[in-house]
Structure 1
Amino acid sequence: MYSDPKDCLYCQNNETLHNLMIEICHLRVSRVFLFKEQTYRGRCLVAYDGHVNDLNELNDQQRNDFMADVAQTTRAMQRAFNPEKINYGAFSDTLSHLHFHLAPKYVGGPDYPGLFRMNPGEVYLTDEEYKDMIELIKKNL
């Protein structure tokens, strides 16, 4: 499936996107977001700047830069929240824009061990709590 950039929430930077997540920053070739749904404390998403469907569409330098952004983000998440493991998800079944879901998992926490759920809709925070999490991630980027 390949979507039109005019229909892509990442490319359009639209209300739907901002209802789901909060932009933290821009890295080399991608934007980093904090998911508003926080069942997995510290869950983030890294979205590639350009509208590409899959990692294999990038040239070597673009791929290396994107994966460096993903690694930089997960290192910051690890330092900020100390999860046991971070699950990586790059599905793009219904939205063909290259992005990675980064879901921290904690021993005794939701779905540990096991796969993270895409949007369990169980945990939402206050604006102040989101702000504190974003500052903690930025401090560790």
Structure 2
Amino acid sequence: MNCPMCTRWQDEPELRVAELEHCYVQLNRDQFFPGYCLVFAKKHLTELFHLDPATRAGLMEEVNGVAAALAEVYRPSKMNYELLGNMVPHMHWHLVPRFIDDPLWPRPIWSEPHEEKTLNPSDYQEAAGRIRRALGL
């Protein structure tokens, strides 16, 4: 199996935010949308209905907790949640804080190309630390 999400935690340690019971949380390398994170299931799954009810509830609470932490840190106008899996068939959410003054507001983040915004390592660490603190970790 060649799944980029299954190895992402090991492959990109500089983007790590938190390891939770059911999922991993990492910053998206492209921070064009400040605070953009990926939350991905530890197990290789493709659908919520593949999980037993207790695990599904636990996973959704973790996604919700990350969204709340991002809202606390970034104070967005709206939090976008996206769970697709068409291109990468491993359950993962794109959590994207959105702001009324962002260049693509109110359109979807993929509505038009944008120049990728990468940060220096200390800025990724600082952002991850702020999110971890908001998570209570």
Q: TM-score if structure 1 supplies the norm length?
A: 0.86
User: Of 132, 136, 139, which aligns to 2:130?
Assistant: 136
User: Of 3, 7, 10, which aligns to 1:8?
Assistant: 3
CA distance in 2, matches of 1:30, 1:61: 14
Please show how residues 1-141 of structure 1 align to structure 2 within 5 Å.
6-13=1-8, 18=12, 22-117=15-110, 120-141=114-135
CA distance in 1, matches of 2:60, 2:21: 10
The count of residues paired between Structure 1 and Structure 2 equals 134
Q: Deviations over 1:50-88 (max 9, x none)?
A: 111111211111110110110010111011110111111
CA distance in 2, matches of 1:106, 1:100: 19
Secondary structure of the 1:7 match is: coil
Secondary structure of the 2:105 match is: coil
Q: Check the 8 A contact 1:39/1:110 in 2, yes or no.
A: no
CA distance in 2, matches of 1:89, 1:43: 11
CA distance in 2, matches of 1:55, 1:110: 32
Task: Report % sequence identity.
Answer: 25
Deviation (angstroms), 1:10 = 2.1
Long gaps (5+) in structure 2: none
Q: Check the 8 A contact 2:33/2:97 in 1, yes or no.
A: yes
Q: AA paired with 1:139?
A: R
Name the Cα RMSD after superposition: 2.1
Long gaps (5+) in structure 1: 1-5
Q: Check the 8 A contact 1:84/1:107 in 2, yes or no.
A: yes
